[in-house]
Chains A and B, each alone.
Chain A
Amino acid sequence: EAGVVQSPRYKIIEKKQPVAFWCNPISGHNTLYWYLQNLGQGPELLIRYENEEAVDDSQLPKDRFSAERLKGVDSTLKIQPAELGDSAVYLCASSLEGHGGYEQFFGPGTRLTVL
């Protein structure tokens, strides 16, 4: 069974440029999460989707960040414009409601560097 797929793996951009990250969850997983991980820290939740609905986006900086999950499968996280402080690893995870107590499975992440 394929795991969570993310692309790109690495992205280097200049500040004020836009950037987008893509995530394909494990097949059949209805819940999708985007996390941000700074160096030496644990991940922090940005947004959680149940199917197409964003049920928790309280930690998403909505002035510059946006996300979508069309058709309840793939998801895209966008930053526009990027700032120096956005340099971090962006992780996508998925889980199956009612299975295993919502065990979350993570993708490899996208490492963003903003110059």
Chain B
Amino acid sequence: KQEVTQIPAALSVPEGENLVLNCSFTDSAIYNLQWFRQDPGKGLTSLLLIQSSQREQTSGRLNASLDKSSGRSTLYIAASQPGDSATYLCAAPMDSSYKLIFGSGTRLLVRP
């Protein structure tokens, strides 16, 4: 059974700081791993999708890495801005069904 854990549950940083969000999963036989952003009262916005054959993906100031052997993924945010404040969720599909198993998220606050 796939379990996804995100640490820390909450993070507060000053503007401009580089930061790393962590995601761990128990079943390394994942097909891909997806990072989402969720603003309060909103749906989920897909940020990055890493295929199981990839090591990392980049989009602007975001870089996500995937290490299947250790069951870990990280989301790196460079030069954080107040607009980055949101909850960040990672999710991995359970077997070939593509049923996403989500972590509980990391609530990020970037202080001006």
CB within 8 Å of B: which residues of A?
A: 4, 6, 31, 33, 40-45, 48, 55-56, 91, 93, 95, 100-109, 111
Contacts and interface: CB of A to CB of B under 8 A. Distances in A.
A41 B49 CA distance: 21
Report the contact-size class of chain B (Cβ under 8 Å from the partner).
20 to 34
Given A40-B104, A42-B91, A42-B102, A103 B49 contact: yes
Interface of B: 4, 31-32, 34, 36, 41-46, 49, 51, 89, 91, 93, 97-100, 102-105
18 contacts: A42-B89, A42-B103, A44-B102, A48-B97, A48-B98, A48-B99, A93-B44, A102-B32, A102-B93, A103-B32, A103-B34, A103-B46, A104-B100, A105-B46, A106-B45, A107-B43, A108-B42, A108-B43
Nearest to A107: B43
A31 B44 CA distance: 17
Contacts of B91: 42
A89 B46 CA distance: 18
B43 A109 contact: yes
Contacts of B51: 101
